[in-house]
Amino acid sequence: MPAASFGSILASTVKEDCSIKNVWNHNLHEEFHVIRQIVQKFHWVAMDTEFPGVVARPIGEFRSTADYQYQLLRCNVDLLRIIQLGLTFMDENGKTPPGCTTWQFNFKFNLQEDMYAQDSIDLLQNSGLQFREHEEHGIEPLEFAELLMSSGIVLMDNINWLSFHSGYDFGYLLKILTDSNLPQEENDFFESLRLYFPTVYDVKLCKNLKGGLQEVADQLELRRVGPQHQAGSDSHLTGMAFFKIKEVLQIFFDGNIESTSGHLYGLGAPFASNVNNFQDNMENGNSP
């Protein structure tokens, strides 16, 4: 394929910040080679996804509100395809690598064939995503999974994953990594989560911070890099938010950040009280 044809691909992020690297099918292997080097020093990985919203509701009897929320997540992740994944790398002090800090993976998605919620697609298109490029040049999930498995960032105890309201984000990643539907039971989902992502922090679990990611960033006086509602920019902002919060643990985590490790906002019995507005927030097609 002529190199010039990829000029339009870069336009899919409106204005690609130099610190955010767009990854498509043509440069997937090349960028994973770089990531394997980066992760040797930068062990904190902030993550965000973009996905096509919520299109189905589970029916039947549910043991609890938390059980319903997991079944809602499961049926939609099983039906739908991931659109975009952002990974931002940081060290233990929140410092990013020189040059490129964030990799934005753009997956194959076809508006004529794949299921989606129209309002979510409208939001993503208004944020700069060009679905023609995803259809023609997007990454195949299976190929991505093979490279991710050998990258040194999953199944590793020394890697810390940072996220925001990330049940769906990790749901899509687990679906890709296992090449299968999500487990029927939430307990099995968390067992799989702990296997692939031993250490996970969800910034949404911080007390005294209200609203979505942008509102939290505004409260913390953080400056976004790149367009909102794109996975690369959102992952970078998530990482910055985590380390900003880490500076003032007593205010946001009662001084004990480890107490939230392995928990995801809106899921799991211990955090069932956090599910208010969970369903509405998910309909935007990304972690709010």
Q: What is the model's pLDDT at position 103?
A: 98
| Strand pairing report for 84-90 and 102-106 | antiparallel
Q: What is the model's pLDDT at position 259?
A: 67
Distant-in-sequence contacts of 275-279, Cβ < 8 A, 24+ apart? 275/65, 275/66, 275/69, 278/69, 279/54, 279/69, 279/72
Residue 3 belongs to a domain: no
Q: What is the model's pLDDT at position 11?
A: 36
Q: Which residues form the domain of 259?
A: 16-282
Q: What is the model's pLDDT at position 12?
A: 37
pTM (2 d.p.): 0.85
Q: What is the model's pLDDT at position 128?
A: 93
Q: How many domains does the chain have?
A: 1
Q: What is the model's pLDDT at position 5?
A: 39
Kindly report the CATH number assigned to the domain that includes residue 161.
3.30.420.10
Residue 139 belongs to a domain: yes
Q: What is the model's pLDDT at position 219?
A: 86
Q: What is the model's pLDDT at position 266?
A: 87
What is the number of alpha carbons within 13 Å of residue 229 lying toward its C-beta?
A: 19
Count Cβ atoms within 10 A of the Cβ of residue 256 and give its class: 0-12 exposed, 13-18 middle, 19 or more buried.
Answer: exposed
Q: What is the model's pLDDT at position 251?
A: 54
Residue 246 belongs to a domain: yes
Residue 261 belongs to a domain: yes
| Alpha carbon 217 to chain centroid, angstroms | 17
45 bridge partner residues: 89, 161
Q: Do 66 and 272 touch, CB atoms closer than 8 A? A: yes
Q: Do 197 and 169 touch, CB atoms closer than 8 A? A: no
Q: Do 68 and 58 touch, CB atoms closer than 8 A? A: yes
Q: What is the model's pLDDT at position 254?
A: 54
Q: What is the model's pLDDT at position 125?
A: 96
Residue 55 belongs to a domain: yes
Residue 41 belongs to a domain: yes
Residue 169 belongs to a domain: yes
Q: Minimal CA–CA distance to 220: which of 203, 202, 244, 237?
A: 244
pLDDT digit string (tens) for 259-287?
678 889 889 854 433 333 333 334 444 44
Residue 260 belongs to a domain: yes
Q: What is the model's pLDDT at position 269?
A: 53
Low-confidence ranges of the chain (pLDDT < 50): 1-16, 270-288
Placement of tokens 């043991």 in the chain:
63
